[in-house]
Structures are given as C-alpha cells and as structure tokens.
Structure 1
C-alpha cells in the first residue's frame, strides 16, 4: 500500500484541530457536511494518518500503523444523509471508537487552500501556473475554481501528460487540437463549474468527473474538457495539509492511498 511518512513527538487533540481550523478556515465555507473533528478519539495524538476518504480500508490501515488520528477530505457525515448507524456506517464508527482514533474531515476548505489544497496541489503537479496578480484567479460557486496558464500545448498533449503524471487514463472531450493557454481547474465532482469556466475564457477545463451535459457543452463551444477521476484529482491536498500541520506540532505523519478507479 503506497504511503509517505515522517516521524516526530505529539500534541493534544485540541491543538491539532486548532491548527487545521487556522489553516483551512472552515467557517468561510457553506459546505455539504461538518468540517473539523467528526469522531472524537484519544486526547493526545502522536501519529496522524492522512487519506482521501474515511473508508473502511483506510480506517483499518490506520489502525495497523498505530494511528491516533485520521485526516481526510471525504468524511463520514453529509447533509441529507440517513442518520441511522447501521451497515457500513456502524462498521466504520465501531472500528474508530474501539481503537480510540480521532477522525478529522475537511471538504471544501481543503479544495480551496491556495497552496496546500486539492486544486493548488493538482495544478502544481500538472504544471499549471496560477493567473498573474490583477487577473481573474478564481471562478465558480464560493470561488473554488482555480484559473491558470499552461502555454504551448494542445488539449490532447495536456491529456497525455496528465495520464503519465496521474498514472491513469483520462477522458478528453471537445476540441483535442485546441491550443492550451488558459486553464480552469476544480478537483472532484465539479462538472457543474464548466459553464463558469467557459465564461471565464478558458481553453480547457480539468476536473475529476463528467456528466452527460458537459459533453455537449464541450463539443458546441470547442472548449476542451478533461475528466481525470474524482479520487485521482484529490489525492494531494490531504497529505500536503496533514504533513504541514504535523511538522508544526511535532506529530508523526503517514499518507495512505487507498486506490479508487472512480
């Protein structure tokens, strides 16, 4: 199982949450679920595991490496969710509670952080430079989308680069020969931001998922659309934030990637 780790000493649960909140500013966002501490575990944290989703596989892997806390992008609780603790929810909670592990989850705040967030980290890996000061740098609901530049490549060449960098296939629709200068990017399930990206004047839009309407928008406008997978687009923010906070608080950190083709 792929992971990255660093070693250190320990801090209180309250200090860890304060550090996450200070960095990610969750109060600034209207989100789909609670950001912050979702499941309370032991009071002192020596080892922090980060991952994309609080799945059973990640929880079990964190237990195996002796984690005191888990930091994820996709937590356990979402708006409109059935509140009963049965089935998969019961099994995940039972494992966390039995091993006294804290679960921290930050959704939109983790997407949006200008340096360590999912959008910024994916852009960095893809060689997308943030738009210059004085130019429009954000778009979409709550200004989550990131605008940048990646000159001297066609959409097809960018898609090929992304497949190499991410280690998986991507879906390109729209004009594959469109010259890429201006890029719009928003990780995860942000297909609904495509129209705002088109309005912002992008040549290509990058996100994790695509739905039926976006295929037609891309074909009709000529703006290229690249869907690279929800998980693949959001692998980088959680370990970046967790490693940054762990270093500040003298906590051991390990990123555990649970592969997901979606």
Structure 2
C-alpha cells in the first residue's frame, strides 16, 4: 500500500482535523513509500522500534509518538537513538493520540468500555473524550474485579468496596483531570489509567469511587483494533507488540 494513501485513510477515518492535541497526529517520521507490514504498539519506545526492525516492518503505528508540546526539541541522546533506528531502517512512524482515544468504534475508550462490559450512553469533558455508560448492577469490588480480569492488572481502588455501582464514567490513560467532570455528570464510579494526589481527596469528599487501572493497560486496545481494521481492509500484515509497562 502506498504510504500517502495509508496516511490519508487514517486521517480521514480518525477525523484528525477535529482535535486540538499535544502532539502532531499522523506521519511523524517518513520511511519507505510502500507499506506491507505494520507493527503496532502503545508507545514508540526503543524496544518497540527494535521489535519492528526484527520483524522487517515497513511502518510502526502507535498511540504515543514523538514531538510533544513543551518537550526539548533537540535531537540528542535517547531521541537521537530512536530516530536513528527509524531512519536507518527506512521505517515510517504513524502516531495518533486524541483521535485514537475518541473514535467511536476503534478508539481506546470504545474498546475499553467493550472489554469491561460497559454500555456507552454519552460523552463528557473537553473534546468529549470522556465516556458515560452503565453496567449491570454491581459493587465497586465487583467492578474492580472485572477490571483486573479484563486488563490483566489489579487497579488502584479509591472508595468503599461495598458501594453500589450502576452509572460509570471512563477515559483511558492520564485522564484523572476528568474526575470532577465525571462527578458532575452523576457517575457512581470513574475509571481511568492514572491517579494524582488530589484524586483521593475528590473520591473521599464526593463519595464517587475511582479506579486507576494503568495508563498503558487502558490504552492497549485502540491501536490493536485499528491495526486489525487495516489488515482486514487492505490485506496488510499487522502485528501488535505489547511492551510491558506497569504504569
């Protein structure tokens, strides 16, 4: 598949132009023009790039790429090593941040909700990245156990384990800043990837429960769904490589 054709398709299907983001979305590093084999992952770490080289990939597709707002823009040290790997092997790097969080079917939040058995019913928050929905009646302990089983890691639980839970809000990754908006939306529990120091106090004082299930763990599924979609639609060879990350 031609690189420009793939780039245009991804920008269209993910509606890249709708989002005000912290990084450039799309083709971040240009490689060879013909793409047959893609390696997908959450973050464009050195380990993922080495896996792409070992597999003979033409492109790497990730959620967390490079060139974040406010970063030191100098290409030295670790940044040089990462970019040198891509350029030396003529590998393309495609990265989609908020567009991949938000997509109604292939996105991180859509996939996370489906994996946890949550029925989506609405959106909230900045750029409508937060999701609202419901679950079959359960307790906070029951929902936490479902998260642990579905994501393969035990979440941090803030709240009374016996608290009844029916209405749930969620937003993958580092979305603890959405907790107040979720509280205002009337949820019984909010699920995200991370927690900050104020999160505990908000949970205690509001009575709304909070589950922090891991930034990486909550954002593994969007890029997998997108990769599977590309494989089915265009006949590309696509492999997801999960670089373990406890955060």
User: Is TM (by shorter chain) over 0.5?
Assistant: yes
Decide whether the 8 Å contact of 1:175 with 1:219 is kept in 2. Answer: no
How many residue pairs align between the two structures? Answer: 247
What is the root-mean-square deviation in Å for CA atoms of aligned residues? 0.8
After TM superposition, which residue ranges in structure 1, 4 or more long, deviate above 2 angstroms?
none
Decide whether the 8 Å contact of 1:187 with 1:230 is kept in 2. Answer: yes
1:171 partnered with 2:156: yes
1:45 partnered with 2:58: no
Decide whether the 8 Å contact of 1:151 with 1:182 is kept in 2. Answer: no
**1:252 counterpart (215, 237, 240):** 237
1:84 partnered with 2:74: yes
The whole-number CA distance in structure 2 between the counterparts of 1:177 and 1:32 is 38
**1:206 counterpart (168, 176, 191):** 191
The whole-number CA distance in structure 1 between the counterparts of 2:169 and 2:196 is 17
Asked which structure has the greater RCO (Cα within 8 Å, sep 6+), the reply is 1
Give the corresponding residue for 2:142: 157
Structure 1 length-normalised TM: 0.93
How far 1:120 moved relative to its partner?
0.5
The whole-number CA distance in structure 1 between the counterparts of 2:163 and 2:127 is 29
How far 1:22 moved relative to its partner?
1.1
Unpaired runs of at least 5, structure 2: none
Give the corresponding residue for 2:111: 121
Give the corresponding residue for 1:148: 133
Structure 2 length-normalised TM: 0.98
The whole-number CA distance in structure 2 between the counterparts of 1:109 and 1:175 is 34
The whole-number CA distance in structure 2 between the counterparts of 1:21 and 1:245 is 13
1:70 partnered with 2:55: no
Unpaired runs of at least 5, structure 1: 1-10, 132-136
The whole-number CA distance in structure 1 between the counterparts of 2:225 and 2:128 is 21
1:223 partnered with 2:213: no
The whole-number CA distance in structure 2 between the counterparts of 1:243 and 1:71 is 12
